[in-house]
Structures are given as C-alpha cells and as structure tokens.
Amino acid sequence: MEFKVVISDPKSGMAYQKVISGANANKIIGKKVGESINGTLVELPPDYELQITGGSDRDGIPIRGDVAGSTRKRILVSGGVGFKPKRDGLRRKKLVRGNTVSRDIVQLNVKVAKYGKIPLSEYFKEKEPEQ
C-alpha cells in the first residue's frame, strides 16, 4: 500500500510530493483530517510536524473533514470541499468520503504545522540535469 503525500509549505507557498509505502503508510491509516503526524512518517526529520488537511481516493472522491468515518456518503452541500456553487443558495447532493484515512485513499494532503531546523527546499532540491 502506498500514499502520494502532498506537503504544503505555508511560509514559501510551495508544495512537494512524496510517495510513502510500507510501515509508514500503515501508521497513517486511522488518522483523521486535522490530526498531526510526525515528519518521520514522510521521511522528513523528526522535528517537523505535519497536519492532515484532506486528500482523495482512487476514484478522485475528496475527503471532507465534517463527515465522520471512512466510507463514501452522498450529502447535501452548499459549498466547501467537493462543490463550488455558481450562485447563492445553490445546494447539491455530492459524493464525498469521510474524514478518516483508510486503505482506499491514494492522495493525502498535509501542511507543515511545526518547522524543523533545515528548510523543506533543502530536502526536495531538484536535481540538475547532467550534460
């Protein structure tokens, strides 16, 4: 099992992607949107702390923080994650996934809650093309 973890850095406005699998991926299962995880789970130093902000499953269904559980549900929404209304008062029934991370999740969005000593740009340097 593996997750694509998108790490957002609020200070710089940059986002970095990391693929994690194995034991680290299993430790994330059961966490909820809004909870914090240690940076070691995504192969960052232990002084980093990350907060789960959302994600999506294998079919692109978004995780919504105010829906309990890990299953898909059809809810009536007037805005927020999963629906952007074109005018005021518009509501729709949309399929969303609950706020708990499960094995069906493919992408997980996190943001840096506590920074470490070395900036993220050092860990995710782009390799220069060889000539």
- For 66-112, write each residue's pLDDT tens digit: 999 999 999 999 999 889 999 999 999 999 999 999 999 999 999 99
Structural domain total, the chain = 1
The residue written with tokens 């949107």 in the block is: 33
Neighbours of 32 (CB within 10 A): 15
More confident residue, 121 or 8: 8
- Cα separation, 110 vs 10, in Å, equals 11
pLDDT-based confidence at residue 129 (cuts at 50, 70, 90): low
Q: Coil, strand, or helix at residue 94?
A: strand
Q: In sequence order, which residues have a C-beta less than 8 Å from that of residue 130 and are 6 or more positions away?
A: none
> What count of Cα atoms within 13 Å lies in the side-chain half-sphere of residue 45?
12
Is 115 domain-assigned? yes
Is 10 domain-assigned? yes
pLDDT-based confidence at residue 119 (cuts at 50, 70, 90): confident
pTM recorded for the entire structure: 0.88
Which domain does 24 fall in, by range?
2-123
Is 66 domain-assigned? yes
Is 131 domain-assigned? no
Q: What is the pLDDT of residue 1?
A: 80
Is 92 domain-assigned? yes
In the chain, what's the furthest Cα-to-Cα distance?
Answer: 58
Is 129 domain-assigned? no
Question: Does residue 53 surpass a pLDDT of 90?
Answer: yes
